[in-house]
Amino acid sequence: MTACATEPAANHENPENPGNPGNPENRGNPANADHGNGRASRPGCVITADGTYAARLALDGECWFPERWTLDGPEPYAVPLPSHQPEEPGTEVLPMTDGRVLIHRVTAGRHAFSLLYPTGPGTGELPLGAVECLEEGSRLWLLPPAPDGEHAYALAVGRGSTAVWLVAGGAFGPEHLAEIPGRCSGGVWLDGTGRMLALDRFHGGRTKTVVVDLERGGEVSPLLQIAEDSNDRLLLADADSGLLLIRSDAPSPGHARLGWGVLGSTLPVRFPECLRASDCAVTPFAIQPGQVLTPERCAVALRIDGPAGTWVGMWRPVERQVHHLPAPEGWLAGAGRLTEDGLLQLPYSTGAVPCGVAWLEAPPVPVDAECARPPERVAARPVPLQQAPLTGRAAPSGRPVGQDGPVPAVLALPFVSALPIVPIAPAFPVARGERGAGGRTPGGWERVELAGARPGHPPTNRP
């Protein structure tokens, strides 16, 4: 790759900083409106983990409305789900695998959640409840679709701590599941059950990735710490192969780079030179699933933004180059899904084709392609966090510069350096469905009972 660079840390990756509405890329796109959600940039649409549905905000004249896409049929088609009034640009939508769409609206600091579904010519709406926080600087946004497609979660940043809420699929409306000390961002699922959630935790002036066990009262453990003074974030993870895509400034302080590693491997994180340049931003958005024993051969889809526009890159850890492919016209940038066969599914919308899907095939792995050191497996899949290597030794310094990065002494560090590893005590031990004293969490969040809110699931037919 000759004209790409790792993207600077997004505004939402440091919860201490608000979004940047002055960025031209953020104007006029509802997916990029901050609107108190804590994320300055999101994909143009969201796809379920199994690829059956997608959801986005669509534009009709000057009015935004939710739209659900069905993707698993012979041809994709869209179903509009307008409400009685237009949606605000910062409204979030998330598809469920039963065909309904979760919508997250923000009004005067209150975050309300409902499920939308088609009812003949109209739209049915099931209110689920709301949460609010009166603290200045508090933010909440939806996490990526859960692996099971039946539950939806949100991340709420409050004063000095971050809460994980179950906002759809529970029995009692929004449920407070976990409270993590520090201010968190990101959100990556590490397993196929929706139990292990990785978050980027900003604490003590540095960002490190931790894992929250949602079935053990929000137990928090360290996952990613390349160097003591580095900022390390997890961008993507594949539960089948354990492949992790990482952004860290460990190899070049002050400048974040893309790297990769394998959960459950004793080998260090690597930072390929082909993912580094000076005039583009590179963001991974999909990993090829199903490659259980060969994570280095997983195709990774990249969104590349540069002076010439936005296009798609395809890359594998086993290779030392990025394949550049043109994006389809009207691509909902940042949205896409890779299949086990290496086919990249890219949703797009144009005036002529308002609901379309383009398919790109990942280039085959060259016969002579080989990894410098094939990743070692130390545990069978799936890998619980407790079985991942969370301790190790730092590599000696003074090694020559190598092809995979400019600072091999840093590249040779394990996921978590040889610092004392202790569980991170939760700011507030949470039992499922509990809230803090006085109805508020330690971060200042509180569930709000809404008239007509019903957490149950009405019978729905898959339209």
CB–CB of 207/221 below 8 Å?
A: no
Phi and psi at residue 11, to the nearest 5°: -60, -35
Q: What is the pLDDT of residue 113?
A: 97
Token pair for residue 238? 């594949």
pLDDT tens by residue, 375-403: 444 333 333 333 443 333 233 333 323 34
Q: Name the residue type at position 127.
A: P
Which CATH code for domain 11-271+379-448?
2.120.10
Distance of CA 227 to the CA centre of its chain: 23
Q: How many angstroms separate the first and last alpha carbons of the chain?
A: 44
Q: What is the pLDDT of residue 195?
A: 95
pLDDT tens by residue, 35-47: 333 343 567 899 9
Q: What is the pLDDT of residue 109?
A: 77
Q: Name the residue type at position 274.
A: C
Nearest to 430 by CA among 165, 37, 54, 53: 165
Query: Quick check: helix, strand or coil at residue 444?
Result: coil
Distance of CA 86 to the CA centre of its chain: 27
Long-range contacts of 117-125 (CB under 8 A, 24+ apart): 117/81, 117/460, 118/68, 118/79, 118/81, 118/463, 123/80, 123/81, 123/82, 123/83, 125/83
Q: What is the pLDDT of residue 452?
A: 58
* Residue-wise DSSP of 343-390: EEEEEE--SS-SSEEEEEEPPPPPTT---SSPPPP-SPSS--GGGS--
Token pair for residue 364? 């085959």
Residues in the chain with pLDDT values less than 50:
1-28, 30-40, 370-438, 458-461
Q: What is the pLDDT of residue 355?
A: 98
Every domain of the chain and the residues it spans: 11-271+379-448
Nearest to 300 by CA among 314, 311, 289: 314
Q: DSSP label at 396?
A: P
Decide the pairing of beta strands 196-203 and 206-213: antiparallel
Burial of 204 from C-beta contacts in 10 A (0-12 / 13-18 / 19+): exposed
